[in-house]
Amino acid sequence: MAILKIARMGHPVLRRPAEPVADPGSPEIARLVADMIETMADAGGVGLAAPQVHVPLRVVVYHVPAARDTDGEGHPLTVLVNPVLDLLGDDVDVAFEACLSLPGLAGAVPRYRRVGYRAIGVDGRPIEGEAAGFHARVLQHECDHLDGRLYPTRMADLTSFGFAEELRKPE
Ligand code: NI
């Protein structure tokens, strides 16, 4: 296993759509996933998409710690290959997001409150479910990476975009 270098905003790999994985059960994908999990843990993130480690494939890893789960009891470490989201309903929440590819920055991002998701697991089996709140937000953020989008492009009001340390200061 290895800790991989994380691409930062502006790198071309973060700006183009990633390719579907042809063989989710291959040893190459297993190695990529293991490295992504190690890289995410080292960086202290809750999610990581393969383009963030310079690999233009549709793979994401994430977990939802119970303390941050707005709508449940947390979600264990999950690997999604070729994920597809269905946006459910019209409810939108606005909350702050950060991203390992924009170190130190944060911004308020509107996201759909509920999503359905379908994907292939690393064992080759189909995965599907529904998510709400922070879990749904993580899925939308990570799947955006697979389409070459970073969270600032989803922001409705860029006045909330800035360095997290500065945003925490009282007005
Ligand atoms: Ni991100």
Q: How far is the CA of 171 from the centre of ligand 1 (A)?
A: 27
In the predicted structure, residue 72 carries a pLDDT above the cut 90? no
Banded model confidence at residue 171, pLDDT cuts 50, 70, 90: confident
Q: How far is the CA of 5 from the centre of ligand 1 (A)?
A: 14
Question: What is the set of domains in the chain, with CATH numbers?
Answer: 12-167 (3.90.45.10)
Point out the residues that are catalytic: 142
The SS3 call for residue 5 is: coil
Q: How far is the CA of 48 from the centre of ligand 1 (A)?
A: 6
In the predicted structure, residue 18 carries a pLDDT above the cut 90? yes
Question: pLDDT value at position 68?
Answer: 86
Q: What is the pLDDT of residues 24-46, one digit of tens each?
A: 999 999 999 999 999 999 999 99
pTM of the model: 0.96
Question: pLDDT value at position 6?
Answer: 98
Structure tokens at 144: 């955006």
Q: Is 170 exposed, middle or buried (0-12, 13-18, 19+ CB in 10 A)?
A: exposed
- Name the strand (E) or helix (H) holding 106: strand 105-120
What DSSP assignment string belongs to 83-100? EEEEEEEEEEEEEEE--T
Q: How far is the CA of 59 from the centre of ligand 1 (A)?
A: 13
Q: What is the pLDDT of residues 116-156, one digit of tens each?
A: 999 999 888 999 999 999 999 999 999 999 999 999 999 99
Question: pLDDT value at position 126?
Answer: 97
Question: pLDDT value at position 103?
Answer: 97
- C-alpha span between 13 and 48 (Å, rounded): 14
Q: How far is the CA of 25 from the centre of ligand 1 (A)?
A: 25
Banded model confidence at residue 101, pLDDT cuts 50, 70, 90: very high
Question: pLDDT value at position 123?
Answer: 87
């969270």: which residue's tokens? 151
Banded model confidence at residue 12, pLDDT cuts 50, 70, 90: very high
Q: How far is the CA of 100 from the centre of ligand 1 (A)?
A: 6
Question: pLDDT value at position 154?
Answer: 98
Rounded to a whole number of angstroms, the distance between the first and last alpha carbons of the chain is 45
- C-alpha span between 70 and 134 (Å, rounded): 6
């308020």: which residue's tokens? 108
Q: How far is the CA of 126 from the centre of ligand 1 (A)?
A: 24
Question: pLDDT value at position 75?
Answer: 92
Main-chain dihedrals φ then ψ at residue 72, nearest 5 degrees: 170, -160
- C-alpha span between 35 and 85 (Å, rounded): 24
Q: Is 70 exposed, middle or buried (0-12, 13-18, 19+ CB in 10 A)?
A: middle
